[in-house]
Structure 1
C-alpha cells in the first residue's frame, strides 16, 4: 500500500472508529444507531414510510424492515396503511416511542453541544466540508470505476 492509499485507509478507519463511538453513545439507551435514527426521523417528520428510510439510510430493505419490526414489537412505533396507497405502510411513534426519543434527544443535544463547544464553529464547519468533499470524491470514483 502506498502513502496515498494508506492515508485514505486511515481516514476510513477513523470514520469507523467515530461510528463505533457514536454507537456506544446511543447504545446506553438499549438501541442501536439505526433504531435511534429511525425513531428520531419519525419524531421529526411525524409520519414516514419504510421506503423513505431505505433511501435515507442507504440500507437494504430487509435490514430496515427487521429494525422497524423490532421497534414495533417494543411498542415504540406503529404502522398504518397510507391513505393513497394501501400497500405502503407509514410509521408513527407511540407514546412510549415519543417518551424514549425525548429522553434520547435531550441527552444527545447536551452531548452534541459539549462536542460543538469543544471543537468550535469553525472546526465543525471545516470537518463537515471536508467530509462532504470526501463523499463527493468517493461517489465520483465509484461512478468512474463502474462499481
Structure 2
C-alpha cells in the first residue's frame, strides 16, 4: 500500500478509536458525547444560546437542536426567550440538570485532568494545533472534491 495513503488511514483509524472511546464514556452516563459537553458547558456558563454552542463545538444547527431537544425531554435543560432578543432562546439547566451535570462533571473532570497531566502541557498544545490543522485540511480538500 502507498505509504502516504497508509499514513492517512492510520490517522483516521486513530480518530475513529478516540471518538468511539469518547462516545462510550458519555454513554456510561446515559448521554451521547454532544449531550454531555452541552450539559457541562451550559452548567458552567450563565446563559447560552444555541448559535454559540454550534460555533463553539463546530456542530450543524440541526444536530445541536436535536441534542438540546433530547436534553430537554430528559428534563435536564429548559429554553427561555432572551429578554433583549425575543427571537433567541437561552439555554439553562433545570434542577435535575444541575444534579446530573454534577454526577457527570466530577468524574469526567477528574479523568480529563489525569489525561492532561499524563500528556503534559506541550503535548496538549501540539495535539490541539495538529487537530486544528487536520480539520482545516479535511475541510479544504472536501470542498475541492465537492466542486
* Mapping 1:42-53, distance limit 5 Å: 42-53=42-53
CA contact (8 A) 1:43 1:98 kept: yes
For residue 98 of structure 1, what is the aligned residue in structure 2? 98
Displacement of 1:77: 0.6
Displacement of 1:142: 4.6
**Cα distance 1:61–1:119, how it changes in 2: closer, same or farther (>3 A)?**
closer
* Mapping 1:1-147, distance limit 5 Å: 2-142=2-142, 145=144, 147=146
CA contact (8 A) 1:77 1:97 kept: yes
Q: Distance in 1 between matches of 2:119 and 2:75?
A: 38
1:63-121, CA deviations, whole angstroms, 9 ceiling, x for partnerless residues?
22222112112110111001122121111111111111122111012112222333333
The TM-score, its normalising length taken from structure 1, stands at 0.85
Q: Distance in 2 between matches of 1:107 and 1:134?
A: 29
- Structure 2, gaps ≥5 residues long: none
1:34-81, CA deviations, whole angstroms, 9 ceiling, x for partnerless residues?
101111221122211122222333333222222211211211011100
Aligned residues: 146
SS at match of 1:31: coil
Q: Distance in 2 between matches of 1:48 and 1:82?
A: 10
Q: Distance in 2 between matches of 1:49 and 1:125?
A: 28
Displacement of 1:128: 2.5
Displacement of 1:16: 1.3
Displacement of 1:127: 2.2
| Deviating 4+ runs (over 6 angstroms) | none
